[in-house]
Structure 1
Amino acid sequence: MDDSKVFGGKVKKPGKRGRKPAKIDLKAKLERSRQSARECRARKKLRYQYLEELVSSRERAICALREELEMYKQWCMAMDQGKIPSEIKALLTGEDQSKVHLNSTKQTRAMKAEANANRCWMQQVCLSPRAGHPSWGMTVVMKR
């Protein structure tokens, strides 16, 4: 046992370590690598499309909530002036919602038109912080 080593009762011969493939087909290996890269890019593209759709749906939800909040603010301002909006009266009396919806739609359309004529809509570019992302916290002003 002069050239071989003993590890845990097993004899290892010097020289070849591990299993080596007979001949590697370099063209086939390169093609597999290219195919894998194509698949990776396709998965990445799908992932980003999904995330963009998710962000846009969240932004739509945020806009809807902002509009609802604005409506509630208008109701509060009207109640501060001593006026009770018909929508609140309907909610308190249990009136049919379809009638209330028609009245509130006319009022909110007028309020929205006035508000949109006088102000810009602010949109947060990045909704959550990303490490080192340059646009975090930036705000874009867009006319609606």
Structure 2
Amino acid sequence: MDDSKVVGGKVKKPGKRGRKPAKIDLKAKLERSRQSARECRARKKLRYQYLEELVSSRERAICALREELEMYKQWCMAMDQGKIPSEIKALLTGEEQGKAQQNSTKLAKAGKTEANSSNPW
């Protein structure tokens, strides 16, 4: 018996399915493989550089946060002893001045809005 099948008017022979491998020059194949390996190593190197920069920036941020935490601890210890650090006084007076400026700005805007609403033009 013949194992070939007729499909759509074409005779198919049994065997491997899919694309037939093209006859590629072995040297060209090796060169492509080497080039691919070079590109892979370059990508890997860039990735490691990026990760190292990321780690160093995070470490700097951690150090800055630790210093800030230590500063706040010292402020709390000073306030527990009944002393108000000058930095806190400056922050409080700065906030009060900022609130006063915001209130005056809001009043000025409200005055302009009232003046515009009374003017029909």
| TM-score class, shorter | 0.5 to 0.7
Summarize deviations over 1:10-43 as a string: whole Å, max 9, x none: 642135754232x320001001100100010000
What residue number does 2:20 align with? 19
Question: Whose relative contact order is higher, 1 or 2, with alpha carbons under 8 Å and at least 6 apart?
Answer: 1
Among all aligned residue pairs of Structure 1 and Structure 2, give the percentage whose two residues are the same amino acid.
95
- With structure 2 as the length reference, what TM-score do the two structures score? 0.68
Tell me the CA shift for residue 46 of structure 1: 0.4
Tell me which structure has the larger Cα radius of gyration: 2
- With structure 1 as the length reference, what TM-score do the two structures score? 0.58
Q: Distance in 2 between matches of 1:38 and 1:68?
A: 45
Q: Distance in 1 between matches of 2:8 and 2:75?
A: 83
User: Considering only aligned residues, what root-mean-square deviation do their CA atoms show, in Å?
Assistant: 2.4
Q: Distance in 2 between matches of 1:69 and 1:60?
A: 14
Of Structure 1 and Structure 2, the greater strand share is in 1
Of Structure 1 and Structure 2, the greater helix share is in 2
Ranges in structure 2 where 5+ consecutive residues have no aligned partner: 96-121
What residue number does 1:39 align with? 39
Ranges in structure 1 where 5+ consecutive residues have no aligned partner: 96-144
Q: Distance in 2 between matches of 1:49 and 1:25?
A: 37
